Amino acid sequence: MSARSLIFPQAEFQARTTRLQGQMHADGLDALLLTAAADIFYVTGFLTRFWESPARPWFVVVPAQGAPVAVIPAIGADLMGRSWVQDIRTWPAPMPGDDGVTLLADTLAELVEKTGRIGLPMGLETHLRMPLADYRRVEAALAPRQCVDATHTVQRVREIKSEAEINKIRASCALAGRAFDRVPEFAQHGCALDQVFRRFQMALLEEGADWVSYVAGAAGQGGYGDVISPAGPTPLAMGDVLMLDTGAVRDGYFCDFDRNYSIGPASAPLAQAHSALWHATEAVLHSLRPGMRACDVHRLLCDEIVKQGAQPGAGRLGHGLGVTLTEWPSFTPQDTTPLRAGMVLTLEPGVALGDGTRILVHEENIVLRENGCELLSPRAPETLPEIS
Amino acid sequence: MSARSLIFPQAEFQARTTRLQGQMHADGLDALLLTAAADIFYVTGFLTRFWESPARPWFVVVPAQGAPVAVIPAIGADLMGRSWVQDIRTWPAPMPGDDGVTLLADTLAELVEKTGRIGLPMGLETHLRMPLADYRRVEAALAPRQCVDATHTVQRVREIKSEAEINKIRASCALAGRAFDRVPEFAQHGCALDQVFRRFQMALLEEGADWVSYVAGAAGQGGYGDVISPAGPTPLAMGDVLMLDTGAVRDGYFCDFDRNYSIGPASAPLAQAHSALWHATEAVLHSLRPGMRACDVHRLLCDEIVKQGAQPGAGRLGHGLGVTLTEWPSFTPQDTTPLRAGMVLTLEPGVALGDGTRILVHEENIVLRENGCELLSPRAPETLPEIS
């Protein structure tokens, strides 16, 4: 067959499931109900871009012991059958009236005693990827079993990456680094920004991305106004700073970092801002350690930017990374999640420029080790690169 | 600024909102709460790939009268500020403890009387894109206001496309057609399937896609086993049939169609299967009319495949299309949605091959007019094309 084999050996998925089951036990859960693409990929290896279609819900149940059980639309049986999951139950979705509700409720009732607790992620940075009305039917059918929040259970396990996962993220970062190196080939003065975005995506694919789930960026004189917009047709002008940010995917794992380029010589304020971001990042790359909290990283980055004579931008200054473009924790003043060895994280400081309506941002990807940061993205140059 | 301007004139969004408000009135709703990317893009024009990050929820409220109100993370204020929405309320997300919950509940309480009903999509093919626990807090804070299902309200409006929308989908189909024409350049015997997928995505970008949200496909001797898998490194072999399927996006609108290619001369059963699919599609392209139901199209396609001497494959045989890769209705035996002029639809028949474990699928995109189908995708060739 032409289809891809499993991305990891079965032992990887078994180890993840065992870790999840340990955390479930600690958190008093008798089963975990997963509906999101990332969670389902994490425990089964089931990887498909078909999630782009909102037509069908997909379910995986992690019981207290043993292998996961898949309750999925029939169209996915072939692909799930190539995973390590043996117990695959299907229905012909989409099915008005009962779109997997009875099959899922029966499966959970079989796996969990009436006094049991079923966990599903309900908290910050999670969604329930099934119709709300159908979830309510499942919950009602399962009573007196309780459905409770399992955000903590899933996040404490998923946030510690295995070496196999770290290697995948490193590979995504490396291919994106090669694509960033080629930006001067297609981002000269006069090139339309939307064409630059297209050529950047083509470069990412050519360098080995399986697909490109995220590209954003901006260009402007003396900084840019936001970092999440798609591109328009305006040509790059001399004096613009161009930023490109990507989440390219290889084997289901993301990178997430950006690079800045000056179109023609950089103005002194831009050159200084880039230098401040680079040196602030450098300082935190050397000081970050397990045992710090997410909010400590936010404070460290802000302090270092101020030390460099610049003004920190607003918003979160980094986050987790892995099977989605962004994962918890968030480097904000409010997030007290403890940082632990094995976490893959982004450092994403920004500085405010001019009257405060413009910004410059900078991003690197790291894995936190017992003794500090290991870079996964090829380090940005200390000096803002110029495209002449 | 380098960012893209609004994709449609403001009048387009005003007209959509007025239609939604008419349907809300008919369905007894005093406000609509939208959380999904497609719904929010539909009423505001807010288009960003940042939805790829699950970190933050986004909310748009459509009141009974007047313009929508956006309740969004501060990081999106700049981009939303370029839309026609004037009332934009932000919070510094992600915020543990109160991630927009109070701001959203206060906004809804301000716009809806205590006896009012707030609708949100809860039914088939919908998701609530916010944490379930936060939704429950919002719902509790709004009592005695009722939160009810608005799937019907949203779907009956969104399923009828404006001419402006149809033009966008036609443009996506056209660029994908040009990319399909180039497949023989990079899909010869001996090429690894994952490289073919990469080159196909590059061709889509080169032909004008803003991004490629979906590529799937397969290759195999005498048919393929499934149609949703990512590609592996197996090289194409003589006698394989290769299928590529894409949802390429331009200006926020998708195409969704596939094409088949024979690597070397096609076997007689494959050539016959392709011909059966083509002629069955042709017959339905001529007979489809407003007033039929979704289930009628399923039956028509199956009947025509049988008339061609082939065996219909399982699953749905087409669906709606527009701001997501797939929209309702679904051409299944159970979906009784009435078809109306202005709907953009896919016809996607499949036939079973060999021992029934292999299939061949075929897909075209159309807009339903008062007098029948208008093709949006360039029609597939009648004979299975051969790459030699």
Q: What string of H, E and C letters represents the secondary structure of chain B?
A: CCECCCCCCHHHHHHHHHHHHHHHHHCCCCEEEECCHHHHHHHHCCCCHHHHCCCCCCEEEEECCCCCEEEEEHHHHHHHHCCCCCEEEEECCCCCCCCCHHHHHHHHHHHCCCCCEEEECCCCCCCECCCHHHHHHHHHHHCCCEEEECHHHHHHHHCCCCHHHHHHHHHHHHHHHHHHHCHHHHCCCCCEHHHHHHHHHHHHHHCCCCEEEEEEEEEEECCECCCCCCECCCECCCCEEEEEEEEEEECCEECCEEEEEEECCCCHHHHHHHHHHHHHHHHHHHHCCECEEHHHHHHHHHHHHHHCCCEECCCCCEEECCCCCCEEEECCCCCCCECCCCCEEEECCEEEECCCCEEEECCEEEEEECCEEEECCCCCCCCCCEEC
Task: Measure in Å the smallest separation between the Cα of A83 and chain B Cα atoms.
Answer: 12
Query: A224 in helix, strand or coil?
Result: strand
Interface contact A202-B202, CB threshold 8 A = yes
Cβ neighbours, 10 Å, residue B353: 23
pLDDT band at A220; cut points 50, 70, 90: very high
240-269 in chain A: CB under 8 A from chain B: 240, 247
CB contact under 8 A, B52 and A325: yes
pLDDT of B1 above 70 = no
| Choice among A106-120, A144-158, A226-240, B167-181 with the minimum mean pLDDT | A226-240
Among B52, B124, B326, whose Cβ lies nearest the Cβ of A96?
A: B124
Structure confidence at residue B3 as a pLDDT band (50, 70, 90): low
The mean pLDDT value for A330-342 works out to 98
Confidence check: pLDDT of A2 > 70: no
What pLDDT sits at residue A314? Answer: 82
Alpha helices in A245-347 (DSSP H): 268-287, 294-307
Name the percent of chain A lying above pLDDT 90: 95
Residue of B nearest to A101 (CA): B124
The confidence score (pLDDT) of residue A276 equals 98
CA atoms of B40 and B70, how far apart (whole Å): 9
Task: Give contacts of B 56-75 with A, CB under 8 A.
Answer: 74-75
Reply yes or no on whether the pLDDT at A335 is more than 90: yes
pLDDT for A1 equals 43
Task: Place A5 in a pLDDT band, splitting at 50, 70 and 90.
Answer: low
Span B277-299, mean pLDDT? 98
ipTM over 0.85: yes
Q: What is the mean pLDDT of residues B126-143?
A: 98
Chain A positions in Cβ-Cβ contact with residue B75 (cut-off 8 Å): 226-228, 315
Q: Does A201 touch chain B (CB under 8 A)?
A: yes
Report the residue from B55, B209, B324 with minimal CB separation from A54.
Answer: B324
A269: how many CB neighbours lie within 10 A of its CB? 16
| Closest Cβ opposite residue B229 in set A3, A95, A220 | A3
On average, the pLDDT of chain A sits at 96
- For residue A225, what pLDDT band results from cuts at 50, 70 and 90? confident
pLDDT the model gives residue A355: 86
pLDDT band at A247 (very low <50, low <70, confident <90, very high): very high
Q: Which of B204, B208, B214, B209 is nearest to B183 (CA)?
A: B204
Average per-residue pLDDT in chain B? 96
pLDDT band with cut points at 50, 70 and 90 for residue A4 = low
pLDDT band at A183 (very low <50, low <70, confident <90, very high): very high
Q: Specify whether the CB–CB gap between B224 and B361 falls below 8 A.
A: no
Domains, chain A: 10-158 (3.40.350.10), 163-387 (3.90.230.10)
Q: What is the pLDDT of residue B314?
A: 82
- At A141, the pLDDT band (50, 70, 90 cuts) reads very high
* Residue A210 in this model has a pLDDT that exceeds 60: yes
Q: How much is the CA Rg of chain B, to the nearest whole Å?
A: 23
Residues of A whose CB is below 8 A from B4:
194, 229-233
Q: Would the pTM of this model clear 0.80, i.e. be above it? A: yes
pLDDT above 60 for A16: yes
User: What 3-state class would DSSP assign to A73?
Assistant: strand
Minimum distance, in Å, between the CA of residue A135 and any CA atom of chain B: 9
Mean pLDDT of B67-90: 96
Ramachandran region of residue A360, left (φ > 0), alpha (ψ -120 to 50) or beta? beta
Position B4 confidence tier, pLDDT thresholds 50, 70, 90: low
Sequence-distant (≥ 6) Cβ neighbours of residue B214 within 8 angstroms: A49, A50, A52, A53, B245, B246, B247, B248, B254, B256, B325
Q: Which residue in A1, A2, A4, A59 has the most chain B C-beta atoms within 10 A of its own C-beta, making it the best mutation to test that interface? A: A2
A12 near B CB under 8 A: no
Using the predicted structure, report yes or no on whether residue B30 has a pLDDT greater than 80: yes
Arithmetic mean of pLDDT, A36-51: 97
Per-residue pLDDT tens over the stretch A60-118: 999 999 999 999 999 999 999 999 999 999 999 999 999 999 999 999 999 999 999 99
Mean pLDDT of the region B196-221 = 97
**Mutant choice from B2, B130, B196, B251 vs A, greatest count of A C-beta within 10 A:** B2
Give dist(CA B87, CA B93) in Å, integer: 18
Q: Select from B95, B132, B205 the Cβ nearest to the Cβ of A201.
A: B205
**What pLDDT does B5 receive?**
65
Least confident of A128-137, A226-235, B18-27: A226-235
pLDDT digits (tens, 9 = 90+) for A285-299: 999 999 999 999 999
Q: Which residue in the set B2, B135, B319 is minimally distant from A219, CB to CB? A: B2
pLDDT of residue A202: 98
